[in-house]
Amino acid sequence: MGKSDRTSLATSEARSHPTRRAFVKKALLSAAMMPHAVQTLGAADSAKALPHFSASQTPAAQQSGSQPRIFMEPFNYEGVRLLDGRMKSQYTAARDYFFGINNDDMLKGFRMRAGLSAPGNDLGGWYSGDPRARYWWSAGDTFNVFGQWLSGMARMSKATGDEAMGAKAVHLMIEWARAIDSDGYFYYSRRPSHPHYTYEKTVCGLVDLYEFSGRKDALPLLEKITDWAIPSLDRERKPDTGTEWYTLSENLYRAYQLTDRKRTRLNSSH
């Protein structure tokens, strides 16, 4: 096979088997053009062509006429149902795990730090630390996931209608709120590891309880801990490779979207 033949064959293969770079480039261009394509369709045609897209407008857009139209919205855990299968089995396992941990055990550290009655058992591991100082997490209160617990329970309850799971999340929030200091300090102990991370996950839990469980009493708690966080958490911009730094503004922005509270916008912008 001559050089020109090989070149022709390579070109032909490239056309039929595009590189990942070319595929991604084409996909991005297609996605970028999608809103323009939808706008050229009539309401009936767009509904047929894109059944998963919505041409609804936000109230602000309807009033000003200057905001972009919304073409896609999340299910918000109401558009799907969890049927029998592997995902249902995973849900059941997670549910059993959450209910297997006593509420007093989950709350013990918060109550002890606040000087309240603290029945229950220590959680151990990252929460309790290691008295023999054998591990990097020996000081305890490392990557506390209380906020993730609230978030997971609120979402699980919303997606499945599991009232008991939702009630557990609400009870934990209310009891945890009793342990928040008057100035808004809310951590599990006086020595929290990675306080920015824990703050952001706590914000996530409160936002999810507000959005998915309808708990309006989560908002005053969110404001209170944010009032503490604004002057207390370090704002220095420095590389962080040890935590999920990219999520730090995500849930603050969600809080702003849901409540239009300037305080959360201010905090997320820094």
pLDDT band at 37 (very low <50, low <70, confident <90, very high): very low
* 217 has pLDDT over 70: yes
pLDDT band at 130 (very low <50, low <70, confident <90, very high): low
Query: pLDDT band at 73, cuts 50/70/90?
Result: confident
pTM listed for this prediction:
0.69
What are the structure tokens assigned to 53, written together?
Answer: 């897209």
CA of 250: how far to CAs of 160, 246, 253, 268, in Å?
25, 8, 5, 8
107, 169 contact by CB (below 8 A): no
Listed in sequence order, the residues at least 6 apart from 111 whose beta carbon sits closer than 8 Å to its beta carbon are 117, 118, 175, 178, 179
According to the model, what pLDDT value does residue 236 have? 77
Q: Let me know: does 222 contact 264? Beta carbons within 8 Å.
A: yes
User: Reduced to 3 states, what is the DSSP secondary structure of residue 223?
Assistant: helix
